[in-house]
Chain A
Amino acid sequence: MRPDARQVFPFSAIVAQNEMKLALIGAAVDPTIGGVLVFGDRGTGKSTAVRALAALLPPMRAVIGCRYACDPTVSDSMCEECRAKSAETPLKSRLVSVPVVDMPLGVTEDRVVGALDLERALSQGIKAFEPGLLARANRGFLYIDEVNLLEDHLVDLLIDVAASGENVVEREGLSVRHPSRFVLVGSGNPEEGELRPQLLDRFGLSVEIKTPTEINERVEVIKRRDEFERDKAEFVAKWGKRDQALRRRIVAGRKRLLDIEVPEAVMESAAKLCMQLGTDGLRAELTLIRAARALASFEQADAVAVSHLRQVAAPALRHRLRRDPLDESGSSARVDRALHETFGP
């Protein structure tokens, strides 16, 4: 049942697709950036990358026996049970791996929000709450493949929980609320359908990904995939070192995150960029700064520089442009243009 029980394709073995990797690493360094949306062609390794992310995340401390893996140090975000307990005795905790929960399309609503425990209800007539995926994803990542095909009522649910960080269950005679703070990661193919603007807004970064057109890249992708499928354990071991190095950098990046300076000039540039693009609200600016800071921290810089801003501008802003739904010229191009105008070539 543990995610690492099966062998996943190592993150560092993914060929090219730098923007996607950068965005995922950014979200791992600073989860407050918000989620990552990966949109692109079929067979480009979208879900492979997300599933590989789990191996890169440093373990976290969680209260023993808590179904929501509460953080023992932060009482604000605890579930009611843990809060009540912590008032009496210090909570016991242990290190657990960060959950990366897959939300398959076939999932039923009751499994997402949690539901009445069927076993105990039917056999003993006891009313008990059985947590769902939203509980399991607390403090971790929630991944939805083909997010644009998700049913509308599940989307509504997600939008609500992703915004409030709390799952409120009022169904089947149950009344339960529990923390559910997660980084939303979605992937999909735009040809299959669009995403609702409200859900789009819940994603901090959005990445566009294309099938590589370099023959060598393509050969390399297939070679590695083939190698992986032949002997998963060996392949994972072969790339394990690089994954570990990456993981160490992510851990270091997390620690330094708050010490990274954001110079006034960079703030101003970010504001200017957002104004030029006419993005709605402050969320865009905030995400842009946070993403740039996460990147600076990951790259072990002391302060955020314009170069960091430039790198994250497209993923942070492209899905927030007030758009004419028919304008096909592409938001990426518009962000690029604005970047050139603000910072020069």
Chain B
Amino acid sequence: MSASSDAALVASLFAVDPAGAGGVCLRSPVHPARDQWLHMLRDLLPPAAPLRRVPFNIADGRLLGGLDLAATLKANRPIAECGALAAADGGVVVVSMAERLTSHTAACLCAVLDAGEVNLPREGVFIRSPARVGVVALDESVWEEEFIPGPLLDRLAFLLDFNVLSVRTVLVPPYDAEHILAARALLPRVRVDSRNLTALCATAMALGAGSLRVTLLAARIAAAAAALGGRTELREEDAVLAGRLVLAPRATIAPAPEAGNPSKDRGDSRSDDQTEDPAPRAAAGDAGKSHGGSAEITPDDAENVVLAASQAAIPSGLLARLRTPGLGRLVRSGGAGGRAGAPQNAAMRGRPCGVHSGVTRGDARLNVIETLRAAAPWQRLRGRQRQHNSRMLIAPEDLRVTRFRARARTLTIFAVDASGSSALHRLAEAKGAVELLLAECYIRRDQVAVIGFRGRAAEILLPPTRSLVRAKRSLAELAGGGGTPLAAAIDSAVRMAHQAQRRGQTPTIVMLTDGRANVARDGTGGREAAWTEALRAGAVIRAARIMALLLDTSPRPNKAAKDLAHNMNARYLPLPFADARVLSDVVRANIAPC
């Protein structure tokens, strides 16, 4: 099966039961195939089923519904307006740039997906309307640190990646709209028998594929596949298909060898891994479980078939990528997708501070008292025009909107040098210091991120998070040894800092290094070139005015680190004999408290 035929198949299955499937996460840049796919979905859905596009920064009021202010003023009684989700009842909502969804908006979406209805008291009106929708989340992320919020990802049956498709791909739907209609009619009568269900459960466990919700989605997709085949009984091939399309893309562990034939992909990932550190988080967490599980189940043909098929469908290199922690979470938990108070919501969040006049657009909150106060002086004048009595007359220009001040959040990015030269002396101390700082940040509710660099490249060990459990884990995994790719580390930190700024956070970069750069950006050795690149990269920090701090971890204060700090406009702190506690004190003193 090729990626393009799978994509077309997914559209068909999704069209059969959008609400049951939850949705599709479509990872793709702006791409002709993506537009094709959306068109195809439109054609496959029944004409009456709505397909609505929703921007990622949609206001809650527009998403869920709220008070229609203009109509309310006109009618002099509250009039609710229908939100995008309720309007799309029975159809599909397409969320563009879903990787920028705030966790808040995602949670609202999830609640509606779970309940199949909008049920929310807002702004003086009680909204309750059916909203059985499927979601197409268009994920345009370029950087691996951006991804769709985990809770939402957990409710979408399909994960498609169009990055692998060629620009000239032509998607051919395997079914036409009439097929879909017939399948829709048949679907309620399709029964998922326990043999196939067990096979799916076993496969999900063997692959370490997400939560129970995902398995449930797989079962529904199997039912949809049977309905498309014109059957009310599930066949093995349906379960196989569901396993391949729903479970395989979420695999976090390579299945135990006895469970099926080792595929080529797995072989690849194995060989990649040998150079990497042991104890990948994903595998460590779930392997134990799956072993326990697979030991108890008696091998069943159905299970093996589904598993083998799913396994073959694991995208090449996925497992290898999963072991690189930064990428692993892409599928595993979705992690920190836009957690911070995003700037577009600043009008809503935080504590109130004053009012300004203006029509309520988006989510700005109407301040009733100030509005009435503004309208009061005009009542007499306006009274001449009015027909009926005893009513306030409020004109749009009277509207006052509350302003809010959200606390600026800080993000502390630790770039930890784990190269051979540093590791010898200071890695343990640096880790200790970072842990202490993490504890500090926990108390202040700041976010932290950790970048480790050694060998050929820098990697994000921990995307911005407030979860200490994860922070601690990622640090424990950082091993020492190898060269010092300083420029790559600085680039990585700067990129993360820029992203934080876009989310309205204040980033601070803390570099722990001895400054002995010897690996250039392209991964080649050479002290001279590496050093020049590092200096140039450092200048970016200066130019961007990002607050930075450089802790020299070499045994003696050294000129290289000092020069680099100067170039970055960072505070330079030589720490020849510091232990973890001292290190942490110094950093704390130098990061502006919030």
| Contacts A111-B122, A153-B351; A219 near B201 (Cβ below 8 A) | yes
Verify if B111 is at the interface (C-beta below 8 Å from A): yes
Q: Are A106 and B60 in contact (CB under 8 A)?
A: yes
Q: Are A230 and B188 in contact (CB under 8 A)?
A: yes
| Stretch of B291-299, B501-509, B515-523 that contacts chain A | B291-299
**Chain B residues with Cβ under 8 A from A47's Cβ?**
114
Residue of B nearest to A146 (CB): B107
Q: Are B202 and A326 in contact (CB under 8 A)?
A: no
Grouping DSSP codes into helix (H, G, I), strand (E, B) and loop, the B interface class, with mixed when no group exceeds half, is: helix
Complex CA–CA separation, A121 to B376 (angstroms): 12
Q: Are A192 and B467 in contact (CB under 8 A)?
A: yes
Q: Which of B121, B213, B335, B466 contacts A42 (CB 8 A)?
A: B213
**Chain A residues with Cβ under 8 A from B126's Cβ?**
1
Q: Which of A45, A117, A215, A325 contacts B124 (CB 8 A)?
A: A117
Q: Are B77 and A225 in contact (CB under 8 A)?
A: no
Q: Are B372 and A121 in contact (CB under 8 A)?
A: yes
Q: Are A190 and B296 in contact (CB under 8 A)?
A: no
Q: How many A-B residue pairs have CB under 8 A?
A: 187
Residue of A nearest to B78 (CB): A119
Verify if A74 is at the interface (C-beta below 8 Å from B): no
Verify if B76 is at the interface (C-beta below 8 Å from A): yes
| Stretch of B89-97, B317-325, B387-395 that contacts chain A | B387-395
Verify if A226 is at the interface (C-beta below 8 Å from B): yes
Tell me which residues from 296 to 312 in chain B have a Cβ below 8 Å from any Cβ of chain A.
296-297
Verify if A86 is at the interface (C-beta below 8 Å from B): no
Verify if A236 is at the interface (C-beta below 8 Å from B): no
**Chain A residues with Cβ under 8 A from B194's Cβ?**
219, 223
Residue of A nearest to B337 (CB): A192
**Chain B residues with Cβ under 8 A from A45's Cβ?**
212
Residue of A nearest to B206 (CB): A215
Q: Are A118 and B121 in contact (CB under 8 A)?
A: no
B448 CB to closest chain A CB (Å) equals: 12
| Stretch of B178-186, B435-443, B582-590 that contacts chain A | B435-443
| Stretch of A61-69, A122-130, A246-254 that contacts chain B | A122-130
**Chain A residues with Cβ under 8 A from B210's Cβ?**
42-43
| Contacts A130-B124, A215-B201; A122 near B108 (Cβ below 8 A) | no
Verify if A160 is at the interface (C-beta below 8 Å from B): no
Q: Are B122 and A108 in contact (CB under 8 A)?
A: yes
**Chain A residues with Cβ under 8 A from B455's Cβ?**
none
Q: Are B107 and A193 in contact (CB under 8 A)?
A: no
Q: Are B442 and A194 in contact (CB under 8 A)?
A: yes
Complex CA–CA separation, A56 to B188 (angstroms): 30
Map CB proximity to B onto A124-160 as digits: 1 under 8 Å, 0 otherwise.
Answer: 1100001011000000000001100101110000000
- Total count of chain B residues near the partner, CB < 8 A: 85
Residue of B nearest to A136 (CB): B121
Residue of A nearest to B190 (CB): A230
Complex CA–CA separation, A125 to B442 (angstroms): 47
Map CB proximity to A onto B440-458 as digits: 1 under 8 Å, 0 otherwise.
Answer: 0011010000000000000
Q: Are B467 and A43 in contact (CB under 8 A)?
A: no
Verify if A213 is at the interface (C-beta below 8 Å from B): yes
Q: Are B368 and A42 in contact (CB under 8 A)?
A: no
**Chain A residues with Cβ under 8 A from B188's Cβ?**
230
Verify if B536 is at the interface (C-beta below 8 Å from A): no
A45 CB to closest chain B CB (Å) equals: 8
Q: Are A172 and B151 in contact (CB under 8 A)?
A: no
| Contacts A105-B108, A222-B219; A41 near B211 (Cβ below 8 A) | yes
**Chain B residues with Cβ under 8 A from A132's Cβ?**
121
Verify if B154 is at the interface (C-beta below 8 Å from A): yes
| Contacts A190-B467, A191-B333, A326-B438; A118 near B368 (Cβ below 8 A) | yes
Q: Are B124 and A115 in contact (CB under 8 A)?
A: yes
A149 CB to closest chain B CB (Å) equals: 6
| Contacts A146-B107, A194-B442; A219 near B198 (Cβ below 8 A) | yes
**Chain A residues with Cβ under 8 A from B124's Cβ?**
115, 117-119, 130
Complex CA–CA separation, A41 to B150 (angstroms): 11
**Chain B residues with Cβ under 8 A from A42's Cβ?**
150-151, 154, 210-211, 213
What are 25 of the A-B contact pairs (CB < 8 Å)? Answer: A42-B151, A43-B212, A44-B211, A45-B212, A104-B108, A105-B111, A106-B107, A108-B60, A110-B365, A115-B368, A116-B369, A118-B368, A122-B368, A125-B391, A125-B392, A130-B124, A189-B151, A193-B339, A194-B466, A213-B293, A218-B201, A222-B200, A222-B201, A222-B216, A225-B216
Known: A106-B120, A121-B368, A192-B151. 7 other contacts (CB 8 A): A42-B154, A107-B120, A189-B150, A194-B442, A215-B293, A219-B197, A226-B220
Chain A interface residues toward B at CB < 8 A: 1, 6, 41-45, 47, 102, 104-108, 110-111, 115-119, 121-125, 130, 132-133, 145-146, 149, 151-153, 172-173, 189-194, 196, 211-215, 218-219, 221-223, 225-226, 229-230, 324-326, 328
Closest 8 CB pairs of A and B: A43-B211, A43-B213, A118-B124, A125-B392, A106-B108, A123-B76, A105-B107, A42-B211
